[in-house]
Amino acid sequence: MRVLIAGGGTGGHVIPALAIARELRDAHGAEVRFVGTAKGLETRLVPEAGFKLELVRSGQLKNVSLATRLRTMLDLPLGVLACVRILRSFRPQVVVGVGGYASGPGMLAAILLRVPTLVYEPNAVPGMTNRWLGRWVSAAAVNFAQTAKYFRNPEVTGVPVRPEIFALPPRPAAAGAGLRLLVTAGSQGARIFNEAMPKIAAELLNAVPGLTIMHQAGARHAEATRASYAASGADATRWRVEAFLEDMPQQYGAADLVLARSGSTVAELCAAGRASLLVPFAAAADDHQRKNAEVLVQAGAAAMLLERDAAPATLLEGLRGLLRNPEQRAEMAEKARGLARAGALERITGIVVRLAQGDGSRPEGSSSS
């Protein structure tokens, strides 16, 4: 079995794609290749994981300048032609689109060549490319039941999350000593957290005795964020800033509350069963982060603060209130765990195997409920 995985960009695209690739290789003996662009994390993470990566030209269409949109429109046919050549050379039985710049050209090329396709969509509302392709793909693996309506042959699979995160025990309902706040925003960090948290760190630490803060700032901003914390007067023994956190199961395990964006992180928060304050990235394509957060908020599994409202004082009030309320955090954590879907990786790769075998139909009971 040969499978081509198209897409990449951020860790939210690349990390689940690698999990799918490893499962296909290790459990099903598949040969897996990737197609991505030179702009994303796939250029480092995919070769490090032992998979071959083909690069094509593709770019962004939404929330960018007119010049960038024009460049992307010119690159798109070239990207599709490059993917056609890759498909004809590699001859995969299935192409899996995981989102990101290269996903569109890769999936379009597969549809044109009548190669079976699976789209992986972790967000509550698909991005523009996946909405366009939804009626043409062979099948879709989605995280939220309400997303199924956008695709042919959808299955609510959940998102691949490491088993170690599912295995984390609940945190004790503490209100003071030993509390940990985890601040994370994926591989690139978040400017709003990097700027606001140092401004409120000293007051927050004083308001919640025994609290410690672990802040993941992104490689480009870690040094400046660390300097801002140091200049804030906050007790240096009670905060730590890192560029990137490799040991996320351990970080979730130690966290009583998580301040996060609401992209792919929401699946990990649910798997870990952790209370969270979510600040959706306002410029996310199709406002998908807000829609992801709303699913958790409506279930009582998280609190949400819109970016436009996330001034330092408001952020301080929200964090302080949650950290001082162990009962509310415990209820959020329980509701979050109830939204988690274990076994997503096996379900997703099972669809790939069925497509490779020529059976694109959904298994019995796999409706969007």
The segment with the largest mean pLDDT, out of 178-192, 195-209, 349-363, is 195-209
pLDDT for position 367: 42
pLDDT band at 71 (very low <50, low <70, confident <90, very high): low
Q: What is the C-alpha to C-alpha distance for residues 142 and 158, in angstroms, rounded to an integer?
A: 6
Domains and CATH numbers, the chain: 2-160+342-356 (3.40.50.2000), 165-339 (3.40.50.2000)
Q: What is the C-alpha to C-alpha distance for residues 122 and 138, in angstroms, rounded to an integer?
A: 17
257 Cα distance to chain centroid: 18
User: Containing H/E element for 140?
Assistant: strand 139-142
Q: In the sheet where 276-278 sits, what is the strand order?
A: 239-242, 212-216, 180-184, 257-260, 276-278, 303-304
pLDDT band at 38 (very low <50, low <70, confident <90, very high): confident
pTM above 0.85, yes or no: no
Mean pLDDT value of segment 193-206: 97
Mean pLDDT value of segment 320-339: 96
Site of tokens 């969270």: 276
pLDDT higher than threshold 90 for residue 326: yes
Chain segment 151-174, per-residue pLDDT in tens: 999 999 999 998 899 999 999 876
pLDDT higher than threshold 90 for residue 229: yes
Q: What is the C-alpha to C-alpha distance for residues 92 and 110, in angstroms, rounded to an integer?
A: 9
Looking at the DSSP bridge assignments, the partners of residue 242 are 216
pLDDT higher than threshold 90 for residue 93: yes
Show Cβ contacts of residue 61 under 8 Å, excluding neighbours closer than 6 positions.
Answer: 69, 72, 73, 128
Among 161, 42, 158, 184, smallest CA distance to 99 is for: 42
- 78-83: long-range contacts, CB 8 A cutoff, minimum separation 24: 79/104, 79/105, 80/105, 80/108, 80/109, 80/112, 81/109, 82/54, 82/56, 82/57, 83/6, 83/35, 83/56, 83/108, 83/109, 83/110
Site of tokens 């198209």: 6
pLDDT higher than threshold 60 for residue 360: no
pLDDT for position 264: 82
First to last CA, the chain: 31
Which range among 39-53, 69-83, 207-221 shows the weakest confidence by mean pLDDT? Answer: 69-83
pLDDT band at 102 (very low <50, low <70, confident <90, very high): confident
Tell me the DSSP string of 53-79.
Answer: EEE------SSS-HHHHHHHHHHHHHH
Q: What is the CA radius of gyration of the chain?
A: 21
